[in-house]
Chain A
């Protein structure tokens, strides 16, 4: 069972790491929900990524908010009208029929690429809900081209985005918690990637 990344997922992961070169960064990978529940997938295609945190990754509360907090605050039948809740990842996944399929992490030091305790715990938690979950650790080496939907296109688009410093406008969950107006789904970057495709 293999893992494949779309250009969008790869670009956003790289831009997240490029925005915070002095920090460790991590995030989630999402895949489309498989329609046939009984038959297993041939490969998992990660269509998008959700950049989570930068800096101190080993603190639990915000990670739990990102991974486990469900949109129980606002639901039908409540006295408040139903809104789309952009704050919570779970609600966004349900809306777009995605499932959290993986986790990526880039450590602070380039040469250190081993998954740490945090990475292993998060990956274990994700695999509880999704059996074919994957973990990606960033290394300072060219990755194997097998795990890309289109490696040449991904390279070209990523180079263009890095050149234009699009990473400055990338928003991760940390930025969203700093200012709720920041949208961690990064629609502008998604548009740029689509435009360059």
Chain B
């Protein structure tokens, strides 16, 4: 079953790289077929049945990413023909307008969707993406906060908000967003590690101690997380400059030994993947 993938300016999670690659493959396959007009096209559509519309959607979004407005327009026409009154297709039309930098028209389209259906989260997120694309970070943050007051469980939105705060150097609020994510995903080592990085960047005695704890937690969840390993090692160096900080209690020798172990493994084995 093909998975629906929405590529917009807000999706930058590391694991979505695979989905991005899949969309590119779909785009290449479909674009080749459209270009060559292969007779397989009909049988391809027949095999996919109703999944072909998901392909049209994914190819359209990939085409927008590649600045192929011609292909995006043809996909949009097919979708409009099949689903004339769909909000989902309207949202895609809005995304096309965004790609053409016609933000006013895109906003009007999304407002019309929200008038019919005020609970449509996709349209609201697209409006926030427009603000981000225009560089209006503070408005985007404000809108995203209002959105999260109503839709508290939207993890993608919390992650987006944490990124916006990090870019604005408001690390305390970014940490709050990551705490929300860690509460819903306690086993995700990436959130622990990123929280540790935010706390380290914030600086100060308590934050460095917290950073160390969260790096250790990230390592506990995934002992191959290099960033967490380096993160565990780095606060010690800061300790050396701030003698008032509590001694790391044998954390440095352990971190150092682990880093040396990693280097030895890397040199000798080479084949073994030391990855997140």
Contacts and interface: CB of A to CB of B under 8 A. Distances in A.
A109 interface: yes
Contact of B270 (A65, A83, A179, A181): A181
Interface residues of A, number: 28
B243 interface: no
Given A56-B163, A60-B197, A80-B260, A179 B230 contact: no
Interface string A117-147: 1000000000000000000000000000000
Interface of B: prevailing SS: helix
Interface string B121-156: 000000000000101000000000000000000000
B260 A111 contact: no
Interface in A43-57: 55-56
A179 B224 CA distance: 9
A59 B263 contact: no
A181 B270 CA distance: 7
A85 interface: yes
Nearest to A80: B260
A75 to B, nearest CB: 11
Nearest to B275: A179
Contacts of B273: 179, 181
Chain B, interface size category, equals: 35 or more
A177 B270 CA distance: 15
B70 interface: no
Interface string A33-71: 000000000000000000000011011111011000100
B12 A23 contact: yes
Interface in B174-198: 194, 196-198
Interface string B237-258: 1000000000000000000100
A55 B230 CA distance: 19
Nearest to A64: B234
A160 interface: no
23 contacts: A22-B12, A56-B166, A58-B166, A58-B167, A59-B194, A60-B197, A61-B197, A61-B211, A62-B197, A62-B227, A73-B256, A73-B260, A83-B264, A86-B266, A87-B263, A109-B135, A112-B135, A178-B14, A180-B226, A180-B266, A181-B273, A181-B274, A181-B275
Interface of B: 9, 12, 14, 133, 135, 163, 166-167, 169, 194, 196-198, 200-201, 211, 226-227, 230-231, 234, 237, 256, 259-260, 262-264, 266-267, 270, 273-276
Interface of A: 22-23, 55-56, 58-62, 64-65, 69, 73-74, 80, 83, 85-87, 109, 111-112, 117, 177-181
The list of the 8 closest CB pairs from A to B, nearest first, reads A179-B275, A60-B201, A180-B274, A59-B197, A177-B226, A61-B200, A65-B230, A61-B197
